[in-house]
Structure 1
Amino acid sequence: MSTVRKYMMRTMNSVCEEDSIEDVIRVMNKIEMSVLPVVDDENKFLGTIYSRNLLKNIIPEQYGFLESHRLLYQVNQAAENLAEIKDRKVKEYMSTNTTAVKENDKMDNIADIMLDNKESYLYVVNDDNKLRGYISRADLLYYLLEVGEDQQ
């Protein structure tokens, strides 16, 4: 039975809870990821920071997400709101209830976890809760493809 370790991606970026929101946005843009793991100084997994959470905090609630007839106003207002929070710390906006999986977990269990949490990525930790990598839906599909090929 295959484990997460075989399919996970080991190369990734992470941020610390004391990093600024501006730094996080710049990292997200540079690596083209909308979610990043948050770790402490010993690389222990603490949670995640989502671009979605940041957007919810800067787009005026009464307008929802960018309705076309209010687009210009909303973009200007969102930019102003972002300027107000860009120096704040990740710990104020991160999610701590993120599910992480262990590198020795069986791949058969990953689909349920990923679909139950509606996550595109699951972060992978070792037994000491230190971040080791991530596993994506694409990795899960590749695993399933290999299982199907083995059955033929």
Structure 2
Amino acid sequence: SYDPNGIPIEFSCEVPGHDLFWNPVMKDLAATSGFLTEPNPVPGQWPKPEPVSDEERVIVPGEGKDFFPETPDRTPVSTPMSAAEGAMKVRDVMHHGVYTTTVNDTIRSVAETISNEKISGLPVVDDNNRLVGVISEKDILKALLPGYTQFLENPAQALDFHAMESSYGGVLQKSVGELMSPSVIAIDIDAPVMKAAAQMDLHSFRRIPVVDQDCRLAGIISLSDIHQAIFVRELEDASGR
């Protein structure tokens, strides 16, 4: 069932291959706020901490733009606040308008968007705008590398770097569904912004996608969005004291 105060990831929306990783340090936060949920957790037992895989580490601080890009029509709301709890919600701070792709789109179309917009990847959505995966530059370049079997059968040919580059044309013809990573790290639209900040800190991300209760992509939220909103609210509170 859906927890409006949690992250809809078990996901009742059944994101294929979804995994979330825990840090024991976050145990208390998780226990008190429903910070994250894991598919079919064992009662009374916390999942073992694991590192985020390369496929999931698509938002890399310091490497150009973040993975989930903002589109030009972003219209941030200033000094938002939840009247019910006094804590700002993700929906109040997030931005709408995210470049997306689908599993049936070609890698060529993704490469064009990545190149033109100077970003590193795109979230993948289905026909109902439900978040089903991510596709990044790393996924595309990884497709150029030889497989383990190929390396064992013919090491010399497998290390032909020119051949790797030359195979790019063929990779462009593949579908997004063939290369994308189905693992998704997302935050619920009604979660507190500090829960989003904690999740980004846990995974070393600077931005994460926002989903609604049906796992539809709703927007994007960044650490900068959260910090700016809290900073502005503090200034307003201070001026009213």
TM-score by length of 1: 0.80
Q: Give the 3-state SS of the residue equivalent to 1:112 in structure 2.
A: helix
Unaligned runs of 5+ in 1: 62-73
RMSD: 2.5
1:9-20 mapped onto 2 (5 Å cutoff): 9-20=95-106
Rounded to whole Å, the distance in 2 between the matches of 1:151 and 1:55 is 49
Q: Which moved more, 1:38-47 or 1:116-125?
A: 116-125
Describe the shift of the 1:89–1:3 C-alpha distance in structure 2 as closer, same or farther (beyond 3 A): same
- Corresponding residue for 2:125? 39
- Corresponding residue for 2:108? 22
Unaligned runs of 5+ in 2: 1-86, 148-159
- Percent of residue pairs identical: 24
- Corresponding residue for 1:50? 136
Describe the shift of the 1:9–1:75 C-alpha distance in structure 2 as closer, same or farther (beyond 3 A): farther
Higher relative contact order (CA 8 A, sep 6+): 1
- Corresponding residue for 1:135? 221
The structure that has the greater radius of gyration is: 2
Describe the shift of the 1:16–1:35 C-alpha distance in structure 2 as closer, same or farther (beyond 3 A): same
Q: Does 1:118 align with 2:204?
A: yes
Contact 2:140 2:171 survives alignment (8 Å):
no
Aligned residue pair count = 142
Describe the shift of the 1:87–1:146 C-alpha distance in structure 2 as closer, same or farther (beyond 3 A): same
Rounded to whole Å, the distance in 1 between the matches of 2:161 and 2:219 is 34
Q: Give the 3-state SS of the residue equivalent to 2:119 in structure 1.
A: coil
Q: Does 1:109 align with 2:195?
A: yes
Q: Which moved more, 1:124-133 or 1:79-88?
A: 79-88
- Corresponding residue for 2:186? 100
Describe the shift of the 1:121–1:76 C-alpha distance in structure 2 as closer, same or farther (beyond 3 A): farther
Describe the shift of the 1:147–1:57 C-alpha distance in structure 2 as closer, same or farther (beyond 3 A): farther
Contact 1:37 1:48 survives alignment (8 Å):
yes
- Corresponding residue for 1:68? none
The structure that is helix-richer by fraction is: 1
The structure that is strand-richer by fraction is: 1
Describe the shift of the 1:25–1:106 C-alpha distance in structure 2 as closer, same or farther (beyond 3 A): same
Q: Deviations over 1:19-54 (max 9, x none)?
A: 111110101122222121100011111011111222
Q: Give the 3-state SS of the residue equivalent to 1:16 in structure 2.
A: coil
TM-score by length of 2: 0.53
Q: Give the 3-state SS of the residue equivalent to 2:143 in structure 1.
A: helix
Rounded to whole Å, the distance in 2 between the matches of 1:98 and 1:118 is 14
Q: Give the 3-state SS of the residue equivalent to 1:58 in structure 2.
A: coil
